[in-house]
């Protein structure tokens, strides 16, 4: 085993100017026109705080891409990665390795009953790609239903599953993908006025889409258990249960995309546990190891897994079950259990975050709606509460600047501030971040016209 503590440094040390120069010259950034951006170098991070190249430290209300659930530089997780790096860094997925075996066991143990097998990927998009492949092979059908307000990744199939406009630049996409409208009471596509109406009408719409597309042609429906980037939309009571019933009625598999909502983010190991619904497949990534090493995967129900016991699964990845990544998952799950992070996220959401955010509406007329659970919340900003006209991108830019100036790095999506700090955040740190959020909302209030 290599003694990393006594090994000489082998990596170059770049100053900030050189970092910026090389980034601009050689790095192609996602979702961006390269000449329009100037990425901020992050030089350090610890717990729930990040530090930029000027030495300014911010409370991170983003968890980067809503994935650093355990916080930055957790010493036990860092130590586990170092330990595994000294033991075995990589091996072919055709061979067994102890950390992949243990990671699969640990994930199956916390998964819903009857889900006992795991296929590992490098991230969430690949997890969703393989989940729909598994569903098609298991059912012998080809169509897959996905919601318009969704994001499932940016690989070829995953971006086709994605319903939001980011898919446009990649079209035409994977054949057989059909989109539908999910529930969103605040901006209801079904003209509903109550959660019950929204749930019932959304389910009726879904049934009609299934019938119109040929229910016997549909392999699966994939949905984010709690819609993430497109609004943190918590499904109304009865909706997920109704989707499960429709799937059972027509022999369709239910794929729960838990990439963002899983592993403590929604106050449960998997968000779907809130509703007692058991899917056929679960895709995961992000919070499984807080992004310390790239890792994702699919959890299969016993029924779906049975399709590949005597017939080969026609898919694979060079780094599937990578030992370094799996070791980080083993350590991360153990840390979450030891430190009660899932329970902390649930309690914080119910007792602290939810009440604090809902109280903002009393003081800030720009707050149209607050919604969420666990450490997974959205504050939707409007210029008029009656018309629900959203703040513009330019106006949201000013809100962002005000939050940062007050010491908090915000997650901005459309006309919403998503409040998604690491799940380990303390009440005191959350209160500090809230003061910065209020500074941003004071700016948003200046745009209110009605």
Q: Same domain, yes or no, for 242 and 304?
A: yes
Domain carrying residue 433: 16-73+341-445
Band (6; pLDDT cuts 50, 70, 90): low
Q: Same domain, yes or no, for 27 and 138?
A: no
Band (7; pLDDT cuts 50, 70, 90): low
Decide if 2 is inside a domain: no
Can you tell me the mean pLDDT for 27-40?
95
Report the pLDDT value the prediction gives residue 287, as an integer from 0 to 100: 98
Number of domain units in the chain: 2
**Cα 172 from chain centroid?**
25
**Alpha-carbon span 27 to 221, nearest angstrom:** 36
User: How many C-beta neighbours within 10 Å does residue 363 have?
Assistant: 11
Decide if 359 is inside a domain: yes
Decide if 69 is inside a domain: yes
The closest alpha carbon to 279, from 238, 244, 245, belongs to: 244
Q: Same domain, yes or no, for 24 and 158?
A: no
Residue 258 has phi, psi (to 5 degrees) of -110, 20
Q: Same domain, yes or no, for 308 and 433?
A: no
Decide if 11 is inside a domain: no
The tens digit of pLDDT for each residue in 277-292 reads 999 999 999 999 999 9
309 contact partners, CB below 8 Å, separation of at least 6: none
Q: How much of the chain, in percent, has pLDDT values that exceed 70?
A: 98
Which residues sit opposite 174 in a β-bridge? Answer: none
Last residue of a domain, one of 306, 339, 372: 339
Decide if 133 is inside a domain: yes
Q: Same domain, yes or no, for 176 and 295?
A: yes
Report the pLDDT value the prediction gives residue 9, as an integer from 0 to 100: 82
Helix (H/G/I), strand (E/B), else coil: 234 = coil
Q: Same domain, yes or no, for 319 and 404?
A: no
338 contact partners, CB below 8 Å, separation of at least 6: none
Decide if 5 is inside a domain: no
Report the pLDDT value the prediction gives residue 293, as an integer from 0 to 100: 98
Token reading at 186: 């605040």
Q: What is the CATH number of the domain that holds 380?
A: 3.90.1150.10
Last residue of a domain, one of 305, 339, 373: 339
Q: Same domain, yes or no, for 190 and 290?
A: yes
Decide if 413 is inside a domain: yes
Judge contact between 374 and 24, C-beta under 8 A: no
Is the predicted pLDDT of residue 2 greater than 90, yes or no? no
Band (209; pLDDT cuts 50, 70, 90): very high
Average pLDDT over the chain, rounded to an integer: 97
**Alpha-carbon span 258 to 226, nearest angstrom:** 8
Calculated CA dihedral for residues 449, 230, 69, 23, nearest 10 degrees: -90
Q: Same domain, yes or no, for 277 and 140?
A: yes
The closest alpha carbon to 284, from 324, 331, 228, belongs to: 228
Q: Same domain, yes or no, for 113 and 228?
A: yes
Band (4; pLDDT cuts 50, 70, 90): low
Can you tell me the mean pLDDT for 172-177?
96
Model pTM score:
0.96
Q: Same domain, yes or no, for 228 and 295?
A: yes
**Alpha-carbon span 34 to 32, nearest angstrom:** 6
Q: Same domain, yes or no, for 182 and 38?
A: no
Compute the C-alpha angle 113/118/123, nearest 5°. 120
Can you tell me the mean pLDDT for 431-437?
98
DSSP conformation class of 41: P
Report the pLDDT value the prediction gives residue 231, as an integer from 0 to 100: 97
Can you tell me the mean pLDDT for 38-44?
95
Can you tell me the mean pLDDT for 365-391?
98
Is the predicted pLDDT of residue 126 greater than 90, yes or no? yes
Token reading at 130: 């393989």
Q: Exposed (0-12), middle (13-18) or buried (19+): which is 42, by Cβ within 10 Å? A: middle
Band (450; pLDDT cuts 50, 70, 90): confident
Which residues sit opposite 29 in a β-bridge? Answer: none
Decide if 325 is inside a domain: yes
Is the predicted pLDDT of residue 5 greater than 60, yes or no? no
Residue 447 has phi, psi (to 5 degrees) of -95, -5
Q: How much of the chain, in percent, has pLDDT values that exceed 90?
A: 97
Q: What is the CATH number of the domain that holds 258?
A: 3.40.640.10
Q: Same domain, yes or no, for 240 and 315?
A: yes
Last residue of a domain, one of 279, 308, 339: 339
Report the pLDDT value the prediction gives residue 355, as an integer from 0 to 100: 98
Report the pLDDT value the prediction gives residue 8, as an integer from 0 to 100: 77
The closest alpha carbon to 64, from 418, 337, 402, 380, belongs to: 418
**Is there a cis peptide before residue 263, judged by omega within 30 degrees of 0?**
no
Helix (H/G/I), strand (E/B), else coil: 314 = coil
């Amino acid at each position: 085993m290599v003694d990393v503590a006594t090994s000489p440094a082998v990596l170059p040390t770049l100053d900030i100017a050189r970092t910026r120069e090389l980034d601009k010259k050689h790095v192609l950034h996602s979702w961006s026109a390269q000449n329009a951006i100037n990425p901020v170098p992050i030089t350090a991070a610890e717990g729930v705080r990040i530090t930029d190249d000027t030495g300014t430290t911010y409370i991170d209300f983003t968890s980067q891409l809503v994935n650093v659930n355990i916080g930055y530089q957790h010493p036990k997780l860092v130590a586990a990665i170092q330990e595994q790096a000294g033991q075995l860094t990589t091996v072919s997925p055709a061979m067994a390795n102890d950390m992949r075996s243990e990671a699969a066991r640990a994930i199956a143990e916390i998964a819903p009953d009857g889900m006992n097998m795991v296929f590992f990927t490098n991230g969430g998009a690949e997890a969703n790609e393989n989940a729909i492949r598994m569903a098609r092979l298991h059912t012998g059908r080809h169509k897959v239903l996905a919601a318009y307000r969704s994001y499932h990744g940016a690989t070829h199939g995953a971006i086709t599953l994605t319903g939001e406009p980011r898919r446009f630049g990649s079209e035409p996409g994977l054949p057989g993908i059909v989109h539908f409208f999910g529930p969103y009471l605040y901006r209801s596509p079904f003209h509903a006025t109550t959660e019950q109406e929204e749930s019932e009408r959304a389910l009726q719409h879904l049934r009609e889409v299934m019938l119109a597309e040929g229910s016997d042609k549909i392999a699966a429906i994939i949905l984010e258990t709690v819609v993430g980037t497109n609004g943190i939309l918590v499904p109304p009571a009865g909706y997920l249960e109704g989707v499960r019933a429709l799937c059972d009625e027509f022999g369709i598999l239910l794929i729960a995309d838990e990439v963002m909502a899983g592993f403590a983010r929604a106050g449960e190991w998997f968000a779907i546990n809130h509703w007692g619904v058991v899917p056929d497949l679960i895709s995961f990534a992000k919070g499984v190891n807080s992004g310390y090493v790239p890792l994702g995967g699919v959890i299969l129900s016993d029924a779906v897994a049975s399709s590949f016991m005597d017939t080969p699964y026609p898919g694979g990845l060079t780094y599937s079950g990578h030992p370094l990544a799996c070791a980080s998952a083993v350590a991360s799950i153990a840390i979450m259990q030891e430190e009660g992070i899932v329970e902390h996220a649930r309690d914080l959401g119910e007792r602290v975050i939810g009440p604090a955010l809902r109280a903002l509406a009393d003081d800030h007329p720009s707050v149209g709606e607050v919604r969420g659970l666990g450490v997974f919340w959205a504050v939707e900003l409007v210029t008029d509460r009656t018309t629900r006209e959203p703040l513009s991108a330019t106006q949201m830019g000013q809100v962002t600047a005000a939050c940062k100036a007050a010491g908090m790095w915000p997650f901005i999506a459309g006309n919403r501030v998503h409040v998604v700090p690491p799940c380990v955040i303390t009440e005191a740190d959350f209160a500090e971040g809230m003061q910065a959020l209020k500074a941003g909302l004071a700016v948003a209030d200046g745009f209110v016209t009605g």
